[in-house]
Amino acid sequence: STEEMLLEVKNLSKQFGGIKAVDNVNLQIRKGEIISVIGPNGAGKTTVFNLLTGIYKPDHGEIYFRGEAIHHLPPIEIVHKGIARTFQNIRLFHDMRVIENVLVGTHHRTKYTFLDSSLRTKRFRKEEDERVVQAIRLLQLLKLDHRRDEYAANLPYGDQRKVEIARAIATGAKLILLDEPAAGMNPQESLELMGFIRELRDMGYTILMIEHDMSVVMNISDRIYVIDHGKPIADGLPKEIANNKEVIEAYLGGL
């Protein structure tokens, strides 16, 4: 592929006490790809996300985003660079409305301190308006528009997951990390999720996701990375992974 290399991870390692949670993991992700990371419970998948988003610092290895080293940056600066995520356990503000939760994703973009005070209010309002318009568009795309003014706590689980994805996108990030997006979704919701992830790709986003639902993984991934006990054991096209003996033994056989 001639597409731009968006994320390059080299020899990434992280240890907790005696446990090598992530052990020499390499990733190469190009713009517009949908990539999955799979592996058994405790394989180190979420730790990879925590390293990519600056929550943990790697013991070894490097992370490059658009060719720039980011492994030393704090989480908020990594969001500024263009990487945002969702969490395995949904983290929404339950006493805020759906649209307000999406708008939370945009707040870090406000840089009003750089503006002259007379301009500040005007510019700020305009930016706010644009963000609201963008948030409404995202909710429309997610078919959540009719729930815009409901409290997040009152939404069904699948819809709460979508709000979390919308909030990640609202940050302005171009690489979206999804931690088990299909978890707790019924088959119909999973199908819609897959459609939505493809739409995101068509809009220019790049998706890296952790997912246990193999029908989702095999259906929408361009490539798949498999890790087990922190170690990379395979990577390739979905059909290569589905037929890989070591992957079947370590993971797929048990599903």
Q: Of residues 9, 32, 34, 47, which one binds ligand ATP by CB under 6 A?
A: 47
The nearer residue to ligand ATP, 16 or 112, going by C-beta atoms, is 16
Does residue number 208 form part of the binding site for ligand ATP (CB under 6 A)?
A: no
The nearer residue to ligand ATP, 40 or 172, going by C-beta atoms, is 40
Are the C-beta atoms of 170 and 132 separated by less than 8 Å? Answer: no
User: What is the C-alpha separation between 86 and 66, in angstroms, rounded?
Assistant: 21
Does residue number 45 form part of the binding site for ligand ATP (CB under 6 A)?
A: yes
Does residue number 131 form part of the binding site for ligand ATP (CB under 6 A)?
A: no
CB of 39 to ligand ATP, least distance (A): 6
Are the C-beta atoms of 100 and 163 separated by less than 8 Å? Answer: no
Is 125 buried (19+), middle (13-18) or exposed (0-12) by CB count in 10 A? exposed
Does residue number 16 form part of the binding site for ligand ATP (CB under 6 A)?
A: yes
**Cα separations (Å) of 115 from 1, 120, 126?**
42, 6, 13
Does residue number 21 form part of the binding site for ligand ATP (CB under 6 A)?
A: yes
Does residue number 250 form part of the binding site for ligand ATP (CB under 6 A)?
A: no
Candidates 34-42, 64-72, 142-150, 154-162; binding stretch for ligand ATP (CB under 6 A) = 34-42
Spell out the long-range contacts of 14-19 with Cβ–Cβ below 8 A and sequence spacing 24 or more.
14/44, 14/47, 14/51, 14/56, 14/58, 14/59, 15/59, 19/230
User: What is the C-alpha separation between 165 and 244, in angstroms, rounded?
Assistant: 31
Does residue number 181 form part of the binding site for ligand ATP (CB under 6 A)?
A: no
Does residue number 157 form part of the binding site for ligand ATP (CB under 6 A)?
A: no
The nearer residue to ligand ATP, 108 or 231, going by C-beta atoms, is 231
Does residue number 41 form part of the binding site for ligand ATP (CB under 6 A)?
A: yes
User: What is the C-alpha separation between 146 and 143, in angstroms, rounded?
Assistant: 8
Binding site for ligand ATP (CB under 6 A): 16, 19, 21, 39, 41-47, 88
